[in-house]
Amino acid sequence: MPRLIQAPNLVMATLWVDWLKGQGIDASVQREYLRSAAGELPPDQCLPEVWIQDPLQEALAHELLNLLRHAPQRRWLCGCGELVEGGFEQCWNCAAPMPLE
């Protein structure tokens, strides 16, 4: 059972595990309750980790996580003339939805 990545917090670890499971990789969060030991243990040793069950899926799991963590952000021009950047699916100025490709 290989360790895939250390997450900055439990929310991210859980999201990453859910994403991997949705892609067919059996993953789990480890060290999820160790945060309370920070201070007694070094803080970087108390962060949650994502582990996968099958070592043969490790390369695929790394690739999938890389896609999720570095998803391209779309930039689009709204009908009202506002340039909307990042992951926004709605114009902040007029509340119009992002147009489909």
pLDDT per residue over 12-35, tens digit each? 999 999 999 999 999 999 998 887
- pLDDT, residue 101, reads 67
pLDDT tops 90 at residue 46: no
Same domain, 64 and 78: no
Q: Name the residue among 87, 66, 90, 67 with its Cα closest to residue 78.
A: 90
Judge whether 40 and 72 are in contact, CB under 8 Å: no
Residue 65's pLDDT is what? 93
What is the number of domains present in the chain? 2
User: In this predicted model, which residue has the larger pLDDT, 29 or 39?
Assistant: 29
Do 88 and 65 sit in the same domain of this protein? no
CA separation for the pair 38, 31 (Å, rounded): 12
DSSP string, the chain: --EEEE-SSHHHHHHHHHHHHHTT--EEEESTTGGGGBTTB-GGGSS-EEEES-GGGHHHHHHHHHHHHTPPPP-EE-TTS-EE-TT-SB-TTT-PBPPP-
Give percent above pLDDT 90 in the chain: 65
pLDDT at 6: 94
Expressed as residue numbers, the domain containing 95 is: 74-101
Q: Are residues 17 and 42 in the same domain?
A: yes
